[in-house]
Amino acid sequence: MPAISVDPDHIVDVLTALRDHPALQFSFLVDVTAVDYLPAAPRFEVVYLLACLGPAFRTAGAATAAPLRRLRMKVRLPADDPRIHTATGVFPGANWPEREIFDLFGISFEQHPNLSRILTPDDWTGHPLRKDYPVQIRKDTATWSPIQLTPEEFAANVREGQARAARQATGGAPKPATRD
């Protein structure tokens, strides 16, 4: 898939041109995601995946449909101020992916209509997909052991389950299971 790098200051202009130019017609925003390249500088990269739908869609004013193809667009952002203008004015479908990136990476999207957390609670501290996010929970692996039943106990449990299902099917009240 071809990829281009774009300066963060020109993101809206480039997205608009990719969507509206008759020879390009990248009319479908497939996804928006992000990458944390800590300790590299610039640290973050926002990745836009675009598609030209070919004959299935033709930009208004274009004489013919552009060929079916995809494009990856990358925008690098610094660690100290990771912010970029929102793509929702060009592609409204960028709304939730941008909120997810904000929530999990802490990258701000200026002029976003509702830039709020989407996966973590509002009072959550930090951004879980950052490489410097602390792992806070350590838990030892639980041991596994099978339930030990005799063949007679297993058969009694099956019979009780069948009887309970039959009572419920006929409208009778279910009786609690008892062990002998």
Task: For the chain, 180 residues long, give each residue's pLDDT as a single digit of tens.
Answer: 999 999 999 999 999 999 999 889 999 999 999 999 999 999 999 999 999 998 877 766 777 888 899 999 999 999 999 999 999 999 999 999 999 999 999 999 999 999 999 998 888 888 999 999 987 655 555 566 666 778 898 899 889 989 988 888 887 655 555 555
CA angle, residues 172, 174, 177, in degrees to nearest 5: 145
Per-residue pLDDT, 65: 84
Let me know how long the chain is. Answer: 180
Q: Return the CATH number of the domain spanning residue range 3-110.
A: 3.30.460.80
Give the phi and the psi of residue 168 in degrees, each rounded to 5. Answer: -65, -35
Per-residue pLDDT, 135: 76
Per-residue pLDDT, 167: 86
User: How far does Cα 81 stand from its chain's mean position?
Assistant: 23
3-state helix, strand, coil in the chain (%, to 5): 25, 20, 55
Per-residue pLDDT, 113: 96
Per-residue pLDDT, 114: 94
Per-residue pLDDT, 134: 85
pTM of the shown model: 0.73
Q: With beta carbons less than 8 A apart as the criterion, state whether 12 and 90 touch.
A: yes
Per-residue pLDDT, 92: 97
Give me the numbers of helices (H) and strands (E) for the chain, helices first please.
Answer: 3, 6
Q: Encoding tokens for residue 41?
A: 């500088």
85 CB-contact burial (10 Å; exposed 0-12 / middle 13-18 / buried 19+)? buried
